[in-house]
Amino acid sequence: MYGVLKFHRDFIALTGFILYSLEQIVINTPGAVSNIFVGAAWETTWQHLPEDGVVIVTDNNVYDLYRGKFPGFPVLKIIPGEESKSLKVVEKLSDKLLKTGVGRSGFILAIGGGVVCDIAGFLASVFMRGIRCGYISTSLLSQVDASTGGKNGVNLGKIKNVIGNFRQPEFVICDTSMLKTLPEKEYLSGLAELIKTGLIGDPSIIASLENKYQEVISRNNEFLSDLVARAVRFKASIVSQDEKESGARRILNFGHTFGHAIELVESAKHGFAVASGMKLATLFSQEKGYISGAESSRIISLLEKYNLLGEYHLTVDKMRDLVIHDKKRSGTDIHFVFLESIGNGIVRKIPVDEVIEFYRHNNTDK
């Protein structure tokens, strides 16, 4: 199981950093222990690093915003966005990493969002057969989902994350003050994954998002730290049971079967695509008799409240092609995530054809 250590400090004399509610969440898996610090000032990361052999991986946007506070280690930069999630980029980074002189005792520090953490984690897992790594998570999407759990992957053409592995970072720092610098669409994209977590496992998150709209929109640090901590606690409990996604962890894919397909075809931001995927999965759950019409309407209203639902144009044939390549597929079946109620997700193995048939009669772009 996972462990949780929670403590509060108003001021840390040694560093001079003011903290909000600081929570440490520990993920214990058979091969590693990963510490997630929610509410910590990101500059406190330096105490977790070795004195030498550290290389920073970041993207151009994050570097431009925060480079003045980076420690004096070599920095490797990537282009922001999904296009950087490729083996070609990993190969280039590996070459640069080799030229820094870092060996098997080296340490990769990722400073960025989900793409940066994915790339850095994958690079750390394969460079010299594996070196240590840790993350400073700078986006809401990364803090509530992507940086926690040890999944690392790159895309193969248009197929998302089909090449990857599981490797836990030694630590993840989630400083919600960094979310202030996110563009609005990036922030809202992360909000969709927070909603997902609430829908499948923690209904209190949904209630908070419904009732505390102003705190969400204003990006209140303390409020967001609490929400992020709740999301990470739930994910930690799942990952500690099932690190390699062979059982319980499949529940974290709610909305992603349809969402990944929409993301690829529409080049939409991940969270917005997943929001559309969650709407479809909610309606599918209602059609199957798992969830009531009232709860279905409540979910869709919340997605609309935060302007997460947009138009998409994806034909049935294209959806079928992409679902066939989904990692959750098993032969002619797929592990699909439904909702029995808000806060209670379930996984059912159903025929791919049933998924496509549902999409057929719920889609206008035949």
Query: Based on the domain organization, do 29 and 106 belong to the same domain?
Result: yes
DSSP per-residue codes, 115-128: HHHHHHHHHHHHGG
Print the SS3 string covering 247-259: CHHHHHHCCHHHH
Is there a domain that residue 205 lies in?
Answer: no
pLDDT at 327 over 90: no
Q: What angle do helix axes 203-211 and 293-305 make, rounded to 10 degrees?
A: 50
Does residue 142 fall inside a structural domain? yes
**CA–CA separation, 302 vs 64, rounded Å?**
34
Q: Which pLDDT score is estimated for 17? A: 39
**Top-confidence residue, 157 or 131:** 131
Instruction: Single out the residue in 164, 182, 200 at which a domain terminates.
Output: 182
Please count the structural domains in the chain: 2
Upper half-sphere CA count for residue 209 (Cβ side, 13 Å): 28
Per-residue model confidence as pLDDT tens digits over 337-361: 999 999 999 999 999 999 999 999 9
Q: Which amino acid, one-letter code, is at 312?
A: Y
Q: Give the model's pLDDT for residue 11.
A: 31
Here the CATH number for the domain that contains residue 287 is 1.20.1090.10
pLDDT of residue 207: 97
Final residue of a domain: which of 182, 203, 218?
A: 182
Residue 236 neighbours by CB under 8 Å, 6+ apart = 2, 4, 25, 26, 27, 36, 148
Q: Give helix then strand counts, H and E, for the chain.
A: 13, 13
Whether residue 126 is found in the same domain as residue 40: yes
User: Which residues are CB-neighbours of 183 under 8 A, at least 6 positions away?
Assistant: none
Rounded to an integer, the average pLDDT of 27-31 is 84
Q: How many CA atoms lie within 13 A of 243 on its CB side?
A: 18
| pLDDT 10s digits, 56-72 | 999 999 999 999 999 89
Per DSSP, the residues of 56-94 read EEEEHHHHHHHGGG--SS-EEEE-SSGGG-SHHHHHHHH
Q: Tell me how far apart the alpha carbons of residues 239 and 284 are, in angstroms, rounded to a whole number.
A: 26
pLDDT at 312 over 60: yes
Read off the pLDDT of each residue in 208-220 and give the average, rounded to a whole number.
97
User: Mean pLDDT across the stretch 300-321?
Assistant: 94
In a domain, 178, yes or no: yes
Q: Is the dihedral of CA 227, 234, 190, 257 positive or negative?
A: negative
The strand pairing partners of 38, in sequence order, are 23, 174
Quick one: the chain helix, strand, coil %, rounded to 5?
A: 50, 20, 30
Please report whether residue 243 resides in a domain. no
Confidence of residue 365 (pLDDT cuts 50, 70, 90): low
Tokens of 39: 């509410």
Query: What's the pLDDT tens digit per position in 74-88?
Result: 999 999 988 899 999
Phi and psi torsions of 303, nearest 5°: -60, -40
Residue 354's φ and ψ, nearest 5 degrees, are -70, -40
For residue 305, CA distances in Å to 188, 191, 215 come to 11, 12, 14
- Domain end residue (candidates: 182, 206, 223): 182
CA distance 168 to 3: 15
Percent of the chain whose pLDDT exceeds 90: 69
The answer on pLDDT for 3 being more than 70 is no
Containing domain of residue 131, as a range?
Answer: 3-182
Given a cut of 70, whether residue 303 has pLDDT beyond it is yes
How far is residue 81's CA from residue 182's CA, in Å, rounded to a whole number?
Answer: 14
How high is the pLDDT of residue 5?
38
Is residue 158 in some structural domain? yes
235 within domain boundaries: no
Asked, for residue 337, whether it belongs to a domain, the answer is yes
CA distances from 170 to 32, 107, 131 (A): 8, 10, 11
Q: Are residues 166 and 300 in the same domain?
A: no
Coil, strand or helix at 202: coil
pLDDT attached to residue 8 = 36
The arithmetic mean of pLDDT across residues 94-98, rounded, is 95
Distances (CA, A) of 265 to 110, 185, 258, 344: 29, 18, 11, 30
Q: Using CA atoms, how far apart are residues 16 and 30, in angstroms rounded to an integer?
A: 36
Model pTM score: 0.88
Domain CATH number, residue 82:
3.40.50.1970
Question: Could you give the count of Cα atoms lying within 13 Å of 353 in the half-sphere of its Cβ?
Answer: 2
